[in-house]
Homo-oligomer: A and B are copies of this chain.
Amino acid sequence: MKKRQITIKDIAKSLNVAPSTVSRALADHPDISKETKELVLAFAKEHKYKPNALALSLRTSNTKTIGVILPQIVHFFFSSVLSGIEDEAEKAGYRVIISQSNEVFEREVRGAYTLQESRVCGVLASVAKTTTSFSHFQELIDSGVPVVFFDRICTGILTDRVVVDDYAGVQTAVEYLINTGCRRIAFYGSESHMPISRNRRMGYEDALRKHGIFVDKSLMTICNNYKDALAITPSMLNLPEPPDAFFAVNDETALGILNVVKAKGLKVPDQVSICGFTNNAIAEISNPQLTSVDQHGYEMGATSMRLLLDHIEGRRESDQIVNKIIKTNLVVRETTR
């Protein structure tokens, strides 16, 4: 039951004028007489005329649309970023098409392809964990579609990036733990090849070294979710020299640790400090409230979008690459001294 929407032609026919006249009247062109304008405007309003964005885009070669490729919408961090992107896009009069990869490489590629078919003006992307080949992104850039990577960037590709200062964020947090008296600090990280994972690990190691603390591999583990944290933490606590603090690369993991530690009867933060990363909504809600490194997802989204718009609207040399770094900040709550 597809009802065709009313067009300029329809208005023209009904009013016995030329389509071009209607177009000009609607655009408030100075050449059009007051009477014709009023006539057209009244008719358009009555029949709820809405310009066809497709036809407009085709004519102007400008879709006023940007595409977002991200791993998972449901994650707090990514949905925060998306929210920032959408708010900023709407302010600038751009539409937003989303494509979630669900961490599946093939779907990410398909998404990039579809966005290009849609002739988006630009793409904001955060790559899937399984992605190791980046030609789908390179193809976008080669076709003249600006791409800005956020968070999970793509080192192989020369383009704008917006990242959080993972390294400094972790280092600051770990130093805080050290300064509050912790000496055996465990690190729960991701094994991935992605820069963010490496940066966080380095931030941890360097903080220890800076304070002359031995980097003990037995305190470092691959663990980045709640369930695994429940499974792994008991053995950590049973070490001959157990940790007196934990740093986790996300808040779910930190809460897993917290729950195990509490169940063991250890006092938080008196005997064990815990610090997470992201500053998820859950950090504030946990008990005791979780100390965490705020990743400012919303701001990252808004910043990425603004960067992309600079490109799209020609406010910047296109061959100039910008790397924005979003400052993290440590939100000290109750799981640390």
Contacts and interface: CB of A to CB of B under 8 A. Distances in A.
The number of times this chain is found in the oligomer is 2
B282 A52 contact: no
Contacts of A139: 48
Interface stretch (A71-79, A149-157, A180-188, A214-222): A71-79
A58 interface: yes
Q: Which 5 A-B pairs have the closest CB atoms?
A: A3-B144, A1-B318, A79-B79, A53-B117, A73-B83
Nearest to A227: B284
Given A51-B117, A79-B79, 17 more contacts: A1-B314, A2-B61, A4-B144, A50-B116, A53-B119, A54-B119, A65-B97, A72-B83, A74-B76, A82-B98, A86-B100, A90-B99, A95-B97, A96-B97, A252-B285, A259-B285, A281-B282
A139 B116 CA distance: 31
Nearest to A57: B54
Q: For chain A, which range describes its interface: under 10, 10 to 19, 20 to 34, or 35 or more residues?
A: 35 or more
Nearest to A259: B287
A125 interface: no
Contact of A144 (B5, B98, B258, B286): B5
B86 A143 contact: no
A282 B282 contact: yes
Interface of A: 1-5, 48, 50-55, 57-58, 61, 63, 65, 72-74, 76, 79-80, 82-83, 86-87, 90, 95-100, 102, 107, 110-111, 113-114, 116-119, 139, 142-144, 226, 252, 255-256, 258-259, 262, 281-282, 284-287, 298, 314, 318
